[in-house]
Amino acid sequence: MDELQGELGEQNAALVKVMEMTMAKYFKEADEKSEARFNRLEKRIDNMHATLSRHTEEIKNIHTESVNLRERVANVEKSAALSLKNLQTYEAKLIEMKDRARRDNLLVFNLKERVEGANARAYLMDKILEWFPALESSRPELMRCHRLGKPPTHGSAKTRPRPLMVKCLRFTDRDRLLGEARKSPPEVDGELLTFTADYSESTTRRRKPCYKIMYDARCLGFEAFLLSPATIKLSRGKEMYTFQKLRTTMCAQGVPWGIKLGNHPLHEICATKGKIKDWCEIRWRPMKLKHTNQQDGSSCRAFVMKFGEVILGLAVPNHSSIAARLEAISEIRQQMAAASSEPIESVCQSCGCKEIAENALWCDICLHGHIQNVRI
């Protein structure tokens, strides 16, 4: 029994020793493998840390560069704004210099081609006193005259004559010619001549939208003036308005124009509660209509009838141009005779209504009684 227990003890000791040796071997291998793996992991972590540090440094450099770039962009924007302001100032000065260089010039429109002949200056010097007798005491002096643009070729479809440029010796000469032309515009070959001041292209573009505004304002009872270079002045009684800048804006409902002048929209001046003023609220002011002068003593009736036809049109005219030649007056009389040569049995003698029934006793329009076309 004791021997058996001794053998078991020896076997257990041998088994423990074998197990310890086996475990030591495996632990040693596991430690070696773990250490190798940990070394590789540390190396990768070190590489990642180095990469992160490099990226962090690059981000810092990019941030510094972006800050510098923003500062440079801000400086460039300030410089560009200053340069733009200076450019606008120089452009305005250049436009003003161009306008000043043209302040002695006149433009004559609607003068037919080749009417002036080879010497346009001599033609105008002779015609000025004929057109404007008030200038005889102090005759304007002209330096040169010429047409603008290319001459029309033979068979060209262009029908409107080129404007005639007139260079006066003094600004006062140009001013007096403009004043007389506005009072009584001359007529040549049935065409009413228009005299205007000469401006640069930029000023002309600025002035162009003003004419429609001035026309609408005159229709509403305003006195409209276009000051140099492109300033609109409106007056109606004690009301005075001055506008220097035009800008497009949305048109209020019921208002027939879509231009806003500075801080004062024209529809706010001429409208009440979003609606156009009634005709009775407008302060009517008399105006003088520029018209063609009669050239004989027997065409008064024809001229008056034609003036009435022009004035009763849909739009208030700026001037009335009627051909005053004898042949044209004769043609006007024939037209008036043809227009009135219709049976008067069915025409009301009170209101001119042409829808009177046959043998009717009353006019349905004016309610006047009629017996055999005789007003009761």
Place 118 in a pLDDT band, splitting at 50, 70 and 90.
confident
Side chain identity, residue 258: G
Predicted local distance difference test score (pLDDT) of residue 375: 37
Predicted local distance difference test score (pLDDT) of residue 7: 73
CA distances from 149 to 46, 120, 193 (A): 82, 15, 18
Per the prediction, the chain carries an average pLDDT of 76
Sequence-distant (≥ 6) Cβ neighbours of residue 241 within 8 angstroms:
232, 233, 234, 235, 261, 264, 269
Whole-model pTM: value is: 0.50
**Highest mean pLDDT, choosing among 27-41, 275-289, 323-337, 339-353:** 27-41
CA distances from 309 to 297, 304, 320, 352, 353 (A): 21, 9, 10, 16, 18
Sequence-distant (≥ 6) Cβ neighbours of residue 226 within 8 angstroms:
207, 210, 211, 214, 232, 233
Edge-first strand listing for the sheet containing 231-236: 223-227, 231-236, 239-243
Predicted local distance difference test score (pLDDT) of residue 136: 86
- CATH homologous superfamily, domain 105-149+158-197: L1 transposable element, RRM domain (3.30.70.1820)
Mean pLDDT of 243-253: 49
- β-pair partners for 191: 188
Assess whether pLDDT exceeds 70 at residue 155. Answer: no
Predicted local distance difference test score (pLDDT) of residue 254: 33
Predicted local distance difference test score (pLDDT) of residue 376: 35
203-236 per-position pLDDT tens digit: 888 888 888 888 888 887 888 888 877 888 888 8
Domain boundaries, the chain: 27-94, 105-149+158-197, 204-281, 290-375
Side chain identity, residue 263: N
